[in-house]
Structure 1
């Protein structure tokens, strides 16, 4: 039995779709089962509720061999520690009490990197990894850079202004990955019954690109000029809190981006194992361009 958390989210629904091609029995934890397509509801066992709820995860993990663990975004959390570590505590108790053997979790890279101060969401994600590992389960932390798919949050400015924004230097080359590749790696691990122990699995995409490189590729794929505009950290935080994010979570995002700009973005060495296939150009052609044209 494989349990999938966040099965209607950006990554979770792709993991679930991949798993449905296998013969493994699948159980999902979902707050609102109606958000699952009918053909999927008919093929999986559904446990309704939040995977931060002790009773929900205890029921969901009963008899489970493997769990796909993803903390959903909580923009109004009181702290990044609460959003990642405290959210995961009931699940960690249930991993132990229900005898779960293997967990695959979506995390962040940067363990061991020399970054001054707190790296926000990254620091909290790594603390979550430590908590999960302390339960004794086999654990694979998917160590993520930025997602290509995050640019979909800026579709309107790309479409109408020919611009996208961040606080990172436009010339800093860094890895970026497509969520489809994250889902593929996660699925492979969930279906593999042979591994144990604790390890990090970076998913770095096929190449390191700067935001200026990405703007050039977007311009070519979209057949219109697109440029990157670096903004101040204070402007980013103001935009986040203005959209309803708590001050603590906005600061956590800012701390993470500042850490990326200080060297965290290039801290994970690229290896053949961490290199995944979807190029930024391919992603722009298959995902971004249809979104811009919609």
Structure 2
């Protein structure tokens, strides 16, 4: 039995398809099971509730061999630390109590770099990894750079011919597609032969700058797309004023982006194992274009 948390998230929903195609017996934890596609919902066992609730995770993890762990976002919290460390606490106890053997979690790059200690969401994500691993369960932390899919949050701007970021336009960084994260997660969850703690980087196929992405977007969409750099303070303020985030979350996002701009995502060497197949061009053609309508 494999338990999938956040099954309606972008990563979780794609992971479900892969696990079911692989013949796995799957149980999901969902606040609102109606958001799971009916053809998938009929093939999984559903535990209703939050995976931050002790009663829910103790029920869901009963008899489970492996768990996919994804801390859900909380853009209105006044304590970013709680999103990762307080939320995972009931699951840590349940992993041991219910005898879960393996956990695969979504995390971030940057461990051991000078920037990891003040990188907002990344800092607490890495601390969450440490706590899961310290509990004795075998753990694979999928460590990622920024997602290609984050551009879906700028559909309106792209329709007007531009996109924004506080990352300098000429800085080349890895970027990955959520479909590839789901594929790696499925590979690890379906493999019962590993033990201990290990980070599994998911780096996409190549490093690209925002200017590189603007060029590819222009070619794919057939019209000019311009990258606009945004100063970090303006970026943070826009997250509060326009995206409705709390000051704490917006500050964490700004700290994370500043760390990425300084080199957080560049320290991990690219190898055949860390390189995943979906190119930015392919992602634009198959995911972004349909979203733009």
TM-score tier (shorter): over 0.9
Tell me, yes or no, if the aligned pair for 2:110 and 2:116 is still in contact at 8 Å: no
Secondary structure, in 3 states, of the residue corresponding to 1:149? helix
Match runs of 1:148-187 below 5 Å: 148-160=148-160, 162-187=161-186
SS in structure 2 of the partner of residue 107 of structure 1? strand
Deviates most, 255-264 or 16-25: 16-25
Counterpart position of 1:188: 187
Query: Partners of 2:117 and 2:54 in 1: how far apart?
Result: 33
After TM superposition, give the deviation of residue 117 of structure 1 in Å.
5.5
- Deviation by residue 1:220-257 (Cα, 9 ceiling, x = unmatched): 00001111111111111111111221111110000000
SS of 1:46 mapped into structure 2: strand
RMSD after superposition: 1.0
Q: What is the alpha-carbon distance in structure 1 between the residues aligned to residue 253 and residue 123 of structure 2?
A: 11
- Whether the aligned pair in 1 keeps the contact of 2:116 and 2:123 (CA below 8 Å) is no
> Does residue 174 of structure 2 align to residue 146 of structure 1?
no
Over 3 Å counting, the alpha-carbon distance change for 1:61 and 1:171 in structure 2 is same
Q: CA deviation at 1:22?
A: 2.3
Whole-angstrom distance in 1 between the partners of 2:233 and 2:117: 18
Residue of structure 2 equivalent to 1:111: 111
> Structure 1 CA distance, aligned partners of 2:206 and 2:60?
38
1:209: which partner in 2?
A: 208
Question: How big is each residue's C-alpha offset from its partner over 1:13-64, in whole Å with a ceiling of 9 and x where there is no partner?
Answer: 0001111112221100000111112222221111000000000000000110
- For structure 2, the 5+ residue unaligned runs are none
User: For residue 217 of structure 2, what is the aligned residue in structure 1?
Assistant: 218
* Deviation (angstroms), 1:186: 0.2
CA distance in 2, matches of 1:62, 1:115: 39
State the alpha-carbon separation in 1 of the partners of residues 96 and 117 from structure 2. 33
Matched residue SS, 1:249 = helix
1:61-98 alpha-carbon deviations (Å, 9 max, x no partner): 01100000001111012222111111111111100111
Deviations 1:118-158 (A, max 9, x none): 10011010000001001100100000100000000001101
Q: Does 1:199 align with 2:198?
A: yes
Query: Which secondary structure does the structure 2 equivalent of 1:186 belong to?
Result: helix
Give the distance between the partners of 2:187 and 2:154, measured in 1 at CA: 31
TM-score, normalised to structure 1's length?
0.97
SS of the residue aligned with 1:156? helix
Distance 1:273 1:81 in 2: 31
Secondary structure of the equivalent of 1:11? helix
* Mapped partners of 2:266, 2:37: distance in 1: 39
**TM-score, structure 2 length as denominator?**
0.98
Measured in 1, the distance between the counterparts of 2:290 and 2:46 equals 32
Worse overlay, 31-40 or 6-15: 31-40
Q: Given that residues 116 and 264 in structure 2 are in contact (C-alpha distance below 8 angstroms), is that contact kept between their aligned partners in structure 1?
A: no
**Residues of 1 paired with 2:171 and 2:38: CA distance?**
44
**Alpha-carbon contact 2:67-2:102 (below 8 Å) kept:** yes
Count of paired positions: 292
| Pair 1:45-2:45 in alignment | yes
Query: Where does residue 9 of structure 1 map in the other structure?
Result: 9
